[in-house]
């Protein structure tokens, strides 16, 4: 049995190529269903995100190899004019397993350690399971990948520390004010960056969030989504600056929206109680001189970028631990694959002994009572279980290489005089 993976991702192809190959959920279901129902694959799954579209296939025919699958998906997406086989990567057997483990644990992601990819791989498996294209191999492969991701999350620090500007801003605010639930937050600008920052703040238990935006309806929509329902008119928010412990600015403007004089007045009104200003604007929204005021902590994108770089460096330092976990799981997965090769012999062995048992019991069916026959059957089942325990355990025992499996299988088949293996179970 082999598992092949081919695909395009952020390492092999630019975004315009990834866009051409990406599959929606509906297309994903159709694609894997077609592969399996046509007999080309016995199992199939597709992981399709903005950064990757990857096929995981157990071939159903000898001609289905990596080149065949690349051509198949290019043709399915009608993308021959833009996408070439060179845009794809290839993986086989353990290489496929290692790749999926690396993807699921987020060390193959564009942003090292990002948390979304595991959910996306789970979605891919869910889709394959729903349409019936995930069989024993892909199911085991995916569940092992989920186990790898869980171990990486709990045993390493790969996913710790903010790696986005908005999240780094919130993390910094939490370091300065340990309990955000007690702080009053002003968000100036309800665009994408501001929205993300507000949501991260809310996730860190900040509940007193007030939003102001040039277009008030946008501020109201975000406030309603957060459940805070607190909005200030953009024309008058400066009259309330002294009320806030944390001010986040994320406005598109060429002029500073806050200057030192305004903030000095604000600080006087709040009797110099500390304030942190997180300037997420580019160009900057806040006059850098504000940072020189007493008890005023001003951090712009460059300062936050420095935090992100440090966090990424810490994540990279965790890679040896992650790779060690993956190696450990690969060994277990490889040993499980090898046990599949002994299944027909185990089935044949059990069938042969059951057949012998039934023939012998049949001889006594009319010589003893029904109750006695049941006791005899129970006794023979226990004996057979003990007789077969050792040979089955020996067959399932891990081996150093798959090359050692035939000798074990042949030994058992010869000793117990088993017929040729049942090919349908291999």
Q: What is the pLDDT of residue 424?
A: 46
Domains and CATH numbers, the chain: 4-160 (3.30.460.30), 165-299 (3.40.50.720), 337-416 (no CATH)
The answer to whether residues 202 and 187 touch, using CB atoms and an 8 Å cutoff, is no
Q: Which residues are annotated as a binding site?
A: 49-52, 109, 114-116, 120, 189-194
Would you please indicate which residues are annotated as catalytic (active-site) residues?
50
Known binding-site residue numbers for substrate: 49-52, 109, 114-116, 120
pLDDT tens, position by position, 119-172: 999 999 999 999 999 999 999 999 999 999 999 999 999 999 888 888 888 888
Helix, strand, coil abundance in the chain, percent, nearest 5: 60, 10, 30
* Regions of the chain short of the pLDDT cut 50: 424-426
CB 323 within 8 A of CB 152: no
Query: Whole-structure pTM over 0.85, yes or no?
Result: no
Strands (E), 269-403: 275-279, 296-299
- Residue 12's pLDDT is 95
Per-residue pLDDT at 421: 62
Confidence (pLDDT) at 426: 47
Q: Where are the beta strands (DSSP E) in 60-163?
A: 89-92
Buried b (16+ CB within 10 A) or exposed e, 115-147: eebbebbbebbebbeebebbbebbebbbebbbb
Task: Quickly tell me which residue has 């305004």 as its tokens.
Answer: 262
- What's the pLDDT at 278? 95
Longest dimension (CA), the chain: 108
62-114, pLDDT tens digit by residue? 999 999 999 999 999 999 999 999 999 999 988 999 999 999 999 999 889 98
Please tell me the predicted confidence (pLDDT) of residue 425: 43
State the pLDDT at residue 400: 59
Instruction: Give the rounded distance of the alpha carbon of 162 from its chain centre.
Output: 18
């Amino acid at each position: 049995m082999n598992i092949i993976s081919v695909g395009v991702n952020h390492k092999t192809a630019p975004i315009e190529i990834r866009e051409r190959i990406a599959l929606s959920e509906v297309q994903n279901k159709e694609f894997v269903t077609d592969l399996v129902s046509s007999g080309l694959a016995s199992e199939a799954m597709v992981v399709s995100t903005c950064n990757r579209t990857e096929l995981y296939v157990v071939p159903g025919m000898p001609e289905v190899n990596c080149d065949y699958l690349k051509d198949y998906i290019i043709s399915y997406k009608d993308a021959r004019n833009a996408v070439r086989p060179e845009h794809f990567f290839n993986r086989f057997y353990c290489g496929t397993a290692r790749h999926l483990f690396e993807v699921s644990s987020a060390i193959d992601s564009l942003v090292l350690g990002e948390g979304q990819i595991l959910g996306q791989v789970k979605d891919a498996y869910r889709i394959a399971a729903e349409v019936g294209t995930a069989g024993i191999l892909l199911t085991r492969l995916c569940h092992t990948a989920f186990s790898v991701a869980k171990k990486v999350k709990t045993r390493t620090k790969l996913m710790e520390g903010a790696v986005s500007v908005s999240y780094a801003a919130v993390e910094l605010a939490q370091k300065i004010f340990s309990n955000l639930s007690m702080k009053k937050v002003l968000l100036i600008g309800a665009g994408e960056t501001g929205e993300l920052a507000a949501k991260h703040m809310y996730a860190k238990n900040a509940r007193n969030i007030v939003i102001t935006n040039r277009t008030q309806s946008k501020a109201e929509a975000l406030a309603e989504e957060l459940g805070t329902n607190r909005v200030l008119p953009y024309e008058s928010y400066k009259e309330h600056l002294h009320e806030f412990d944390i001010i986040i600015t994320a406005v598109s403007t060429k002029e500073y929206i806050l200057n030192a004089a305004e903030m000095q007045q604000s600080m006087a009104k709040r009797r110099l109680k500390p304030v942190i200003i997180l300037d997420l604007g580019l160009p900057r929204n806040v006059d850098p001189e504000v940072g020189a005021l007493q008890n005023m902590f001003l951090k712009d994108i460059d300062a936050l970028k420095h935090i992100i770089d440090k966090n990424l460096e810490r994540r990279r330092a965790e890679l040896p631990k992650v790779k060690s976990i993956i190696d450990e799981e690969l060994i277990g997965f490889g040993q499980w694959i090898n046990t599949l090769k002994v299944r027909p012999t185990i089935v044949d062995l059990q069938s042969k002994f059951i057949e012998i048992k039934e023939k012998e019991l049949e001889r006594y069916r009319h010589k003893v009572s029904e109750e006695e026959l049941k006791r005899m059957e129970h006794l023979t089942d226990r004996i057979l279980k003990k007789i077969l325990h050792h040979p089955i355990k020996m067959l399932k025992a891990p081996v150093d290489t798959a090359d050692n499996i035939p000798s074990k299988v042949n030994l058992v088949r010869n000793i117990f005089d088993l017929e040729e293996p049942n090919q349908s179970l291999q």
